[in-house]
């Protein structure tokens, strides 16, 4: 059994596996080299050969316990014929949502559009299995995808004023999202993903009264679906105001926490395995500070099943030497 599975499934506390959100990405010089020659981000995600290479770059460099496929949560709107482009220094920009066009997309159309992602997972997982390491597949949570698809861009702190105006439309989109998320998850698992992570990057935008409709119910449906495939599922409801309630209702196999919550409170309130928490900005400081913060998390979760990770994606300006030191600190502990 892999170290990650030992912690998530068997709730083992004597080991702390490690992987890093966005570990395949801009902080690596070898990634920047590929990106330079491949300016179209979506096309890069659909290049099976390069996706595999990028996914394995951090595995070759660091002794990480899992690879997470180099892809994007916006493969869902892309597969549903909503135009997605990534603009430099701006982020994703999506065309206006066309519900009529979207409603006509069937499973065959969708799978055909994103098929290279599954092929890349297949070839990555065959290498990872030999190393007794996991291949993590992932999706965006329904709420976060809904935000991007209606808002057409990253909301940061604001979503369109009339966002909730057409409740009927929102519910129709959510049903379509859920259907194709399940298809996307199933294809990732069928091709070798043996852990699924659900990223709810914009959970923090909602008021608690809206959690049941937009977070709890749709995410619970997905979690139950992943469990039916016999694959563990990790949820990351970033900046949600109540992690305890989320875990009790949605019941993921493990939960990733962000860096704004007190890990001590989490360790007391949450019964399931925990992942992450460290502020990525700590990697921009010095080794002494990094060690202190890493040991704080390892100490707080010493009697709790815990996977070491960050409380958000690694920052592009991070020095690889600091990642090396982070790995050493966790693995020597």
As a whole number, the mean pLDDT across the chain is: 96
> For 28-51, what is the mean pLDDT?
97
258-273 pLDDT, tens digit each: 999 999 999 999 999 9
The mean pLDDT value for 213-217 works out to 97
Q: 10 Å Cβ neighbour count for 260?
A: 12
Which letter does DSSP use for residue 41 in this model? H
How far apart are the C-alpha atoms of 275 and 18, rounded to whole Å? 9
Question: Structural domain of residue 270, as residue ranges?
Answer: 3-332
CATH of the domain at 248: 3.20.20.210
Tokens of 50: 């390069």
* CA dist., res. 169 & res. 328, Å (int): 50
d(CA 247, CA 304): 15
Task: Tell me which DSSP letter residue 157 carries.
Answer: T
Number of CB atoms found within 10 A of residue 105's CB? 17
Q: What is the pTM of this model?
A: 0.97
Q: Give the HSE-up count for residue 55: Cα atoms under 13 Å, Cβ half-sphere.
A: 34
233-237 and 254-256 as β-strands: parallel, antiparallel, unpaired?
parallel
Q: Which two tokens stand for residue 35?
A: 């990106």
Domain count, the chain: 1
Pairing of strands 91-94, 84-87: antiparallel
Model confidence pLDDT, tens digit, residues 91-145: 899 999 999 999 999 999 999 999 999 999 999 999 999 999 999 999 999 999 9
């Amino acid at each position: 059994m892999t170290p990650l599975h030992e912690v998530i499934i068997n709730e083992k506390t004597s080991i702390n596996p490690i992987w890093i959100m966005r570990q395949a990405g801009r902080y690596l010089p070898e990634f920047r080299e590929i990106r330079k020659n491949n300016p179209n981000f979506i096309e890069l995600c659909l290049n099976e050969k390069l996706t595999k290479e990028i996914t394995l770059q951090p595995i070759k460099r660091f002794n990480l316990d899992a690879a997470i496929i180099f892809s994007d949560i916006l493969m869902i709107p892309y597969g549903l014929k909503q135009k997605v482009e990534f603009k430099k220094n701006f982020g994703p920009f999506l065309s206006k949502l066309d519900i009529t066009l979207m409603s006509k997309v069937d499973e065959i159309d969708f799978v055909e559009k994103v098929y290279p992602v599954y092929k890349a997972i297949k070839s990555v997982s065959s290498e990872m299995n030999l190393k007794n390491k996991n291949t993590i597949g992932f999706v965006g949570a329904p709420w976060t995808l809904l935000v991007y698809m209606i808002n057409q861009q990253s909301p940061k702190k604001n979503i369109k004023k009339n966002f909730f105006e057409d409740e009927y439309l929102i519910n129709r989109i959510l049903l379509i999202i859920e259907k194709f998320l399940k298809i996307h998850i199933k294809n990732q698992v069928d091709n070798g993903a043996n852990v699924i992570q659900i990223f709810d990057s914009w959970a923090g935008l909602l008021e608690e009264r809206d959690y049941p409709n937009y977070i709890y119910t749709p995410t619970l449906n997905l979690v139950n679906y992943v469990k039916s495939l016999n694959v563990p599922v990790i949820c990351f409801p970033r900046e949600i105001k109540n992690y305890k309630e989320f875990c009790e209702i949605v019941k993921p196999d493990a939960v990733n926490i962000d860096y704004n919550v007190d890990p001590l409170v989490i360790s007391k309130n949450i019964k399931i395995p925990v992942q992450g928490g460290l502020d990525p900005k700590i990697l921009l400081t010095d080794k002494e500070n990094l060690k202190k913060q890493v040991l704080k998390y390892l100490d707080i979760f010493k009697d709790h099943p815990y996977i070491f990770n960050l409380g958000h994606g690694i920052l592009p300006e991070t020095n690889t030497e600091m990642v090396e030191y982070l790995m050493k600190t966790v693995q020597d502990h």
